[in-house]
Amino acid sequence: MSISTGPARRYDAIVVGGGPAGASTAFALARGGARVLVVDRAHFPRPKPCAEYLSPQASRLLSGMGALDAVESAGAAHLAGMIVRAPNGATLRGDFVAEHGYSAFRDRGLALRRTLLDPILLDCARDAGAAVREGAQVAGLVRDRKGRVTGVELLTADGTRESLSAPLIVGADGLRSVVARRLGLARTSRLWPRRVALVAHYENFGGMGDWGEMHVERGVGYVGLATVDGGLTNVAMVVPAAAARAMNGDRTAFFEQWLRDRPQLAGRVAGARRVTPVLATGPFASHARRAWAPGVALVGDAADFFDPFTG
């Protein structure tokens, strides 16, 4: 391992995490004239366990970033609303189309794989003037004598440590934020529901229409279905962490058996083909004590994560 020497490279803001929260924050800061650096340990594009659904209001934000045309050109599917199926088989449908004279920016949601969406948003940040460092992991935070965070220590793929400074560090590094944990801001509780998500993409999943779907089961979790780009179906399952122990190290078998065990889904998945690995994330029982510290702001899932039944 080598250690860089000399003065720390300085920016106005360093954004840790290049996902949607980090990219959009970097875009806003850079467009305002700040010298911004985005760092992410991954190399983009990269898969991410996510339901990959954007509400209609997100289109307004994408348009403001200049990203909406690129998202549409990438083949984003349009969702007319959501259908929710209760454990007893009863269903309800909610449509996004405006009623009672209210006019929304759009009356359709969008669904696009994260392997396509995230690079689009990062490119918008770059176009606004932000620099992006991929494959660089935050190994620590730099503080002054009063405890204020003044920079980050990066660990690159070749083992080099590098010190970077900025008056503002933005933690946009997700549910298990390194920034939040290093500052003691992350908190968990055994009293909170603990759930695990499993996500995969299928082709030829039967019966898909213009609506996303939520199939809620009693005590064993729920699954969301939505058409994404390329005619694929995103299948996002959320199960109690206790139930997930039945995976016995084979989450793919657990995932596929769970779908086959649902009578309303068994026939629809029978002719489908899974085209991506089953990715996992969670447990979700994590929140930040607060979304700031001297020299630091948390955004996105790093700031807080709400765990509604929709995931």
With respect to residue 72, please indicate whether it lies within any of the assigned structural domains: no
Please check the confidence at residue 59 and state whether its pLDDT lies above 50. yes
User: What average pLDDT does range 25-45 have in this prediction?
Assistant: 98
Question: Which pLDDT belongs to residue 189?
Answer: 66
Question: 134 and 47: one domain?
Answer: yes
Nearest residue to 279 (alpha-carbon basis) of 304, 311, 255:
255
Are 166 and 10 contacting, i.e. CB atoms less than 8 angstroms apart? Answer: yes
Are 110 and 59 contacting, i.e. CB atoms less than 8 angstroms apart? Answer: yes
What percentage of the chain has pLDDT greater than the value 70? 91
User: What average pLDDT does range 75-85 have in this prediction?
Assistant: 96
Please check the confidence at residue 186 and state whether its pLDDT lies above 90. no
Question: 290 and 275: one domain?
Answer: no
Locate 255 and state its tokens.
């995932």
Question: 145 and 242: one domain?
Answer: no
Question: Which pLDDT belongs to residue 192?
Answer: 67
Q: What span, in angstroms and rounded, lies between the C-alpha atoms of 228 and 109?
A: 11
Q: What span, in angstroms and rounded, lies between the C-alpha atoms of 214 and 309?
A: 9
Question: 161 and 172: one domain?
Answer: yes
Q: What span, in angstroms and rounded, lies between the C-alpha atoms of 267 and 99?
A: 35
Question: 105 and 175: one domain?
Answer: no
Confidence bin at 4 (pLDDT 50/70/90): very low
HSE (side-chain half, CA atoms, 13 Å) at 139: 14
With respect to residue 273, please indicate whether it lies within any of the assigned structural domains: yes
Q: Name which of 26-35, 92-101, 201-210, 214-223 the model is least confident about.
A: 92-101
With respect to residue 199, please indicate whether it lies within any of the assigned structural domains: yes
Angle at 129 between CA 126 and CA 130, to 5 degrees: 60
Locate 275 and state its tokens.
């085209």
Question: Which pLDDT belongs to residue 100?
Answer: 62
Return the number of other C-beta atoms located less than 10 Å from residue 153's C-beta. 17
Confidence bin at 284 (pLDDT 50/70/90): confident
Question: 179 and 253: one domain?
Answer: no
Q: Is 84 helix (H, G, I), strand (E, B) or coil?
A: strand
User: What average pLDDT does range 47-62 have in this prediction?
Assistant: 94
Cα four-point dihedral sign 287, 292, 295, 301: positive
Quote the pTM value.
0.93
Q: What span, in angstroms and rounded, lies between the C-alpha atoms of 85 and 92?
A: 7
Are 288 and 187 contacting, i.e. CB atoms less than 8 angstroms apart? Answer: yes
Indicate the number of domains in the chain. 2
Please check the confidence at residue 293 and state whether its pLDDT lies above 90. yes
Q: Which CATH number characterizes residue 45's domain?
A: 3.50.50.60
With respect to residue 130, please indicate whether it lies within any of the assigned structural domains: yes
What percentage of the chain has pLDDT greater than the value 90? 78
| Angle (deg, nearest 10), helices 20-31 and 114-127 | 10
The residue among 188 and 254 whose pLDDT is bigger is 254
Confidence bin at 242 (pLDDT 50/70/90): confident
Question: 45 and 194: one domain?
Answer: no
With respect to residue 48, please indicate whether it lies within any of the assigned structural domains: yes
With respect to residue 61, please indicate whether it lies within any of the assigned structural domains: no
Question: 39 and 140: one domain?
Answer: yes
Q: Name which of 147-151, 190-194, 245-249, 260-264 the model is least confident about.
A: 190-194
Question: Model confidence over 6-15: pLDDT tens digits?
Answer: 456 899 999 9
Please check the confidence at residue 310 and state whether its pLDDT lies above 70. no
Q: Which CATH number characterizes residue 240's domain?
A: 3.30.9.100
Question: 280 and 136: one domain?
Answer: no
Question: 45 and 122: one domain?
Answer: yes
Domain span at 46: 9-52+113-187+286-302
Q: Is 58 helix (H, G, I), strand (E, B) or coil?
A: helix
Q: What span, in angstroms and rounded, lies between the C-alpha atoms of 172 and 303?
A: 8
With respect to residue 102, please indicate whether it lies within any of the assigned structural domains: yes
Tokens 């064993």 locate to 220
Locate 228 and state its tokens.
């994404």
Question: Which pLDDT belongs to residue 150?
Answer: 98
Question: 277 and 129: one domain?
Answer: no
Question: Which pLDDT belongs to residue 91?
Answer: 98
| Top-confidence range, 64-78, 100-114, 208-222 | 64-78
Residues whose CB is less than 8 angstroms from the CB of residue 245 and which lie 6 or more positions away in sequence, other chains included: none
Please check the confidence at residue 190 and state whether its pLDDT lies above 90. no
Are 11 and 26 contacting, i.e. CB atoms less than 8 angstroms apart? Answer: no
Question: 24 and 122: one domain?
Answer: yes
Are 236 and 311 contacting, i.e. CB atoms less than 8 angstroms apart? Answer: yes
Q: What span, in angstroms and rounded, lies between the C-alpha atoms of 70 and 206?
A: 28
Please check the confidence at residue 191 and state whether its pLDDT lies above 50. yes
Mean pLDDT of the chain: 92
Question: Which pLDDT belongs to residue 246?
Answer: 77
With respect to residue 239, please indicate whether it lies within any of the assigned structural domains: yes
User: What average pLDDT does range 212-236 have in this prediction?
Assistant: 96
Angle at 163 between CA 159 and CA 168, to 5 degrees: 130
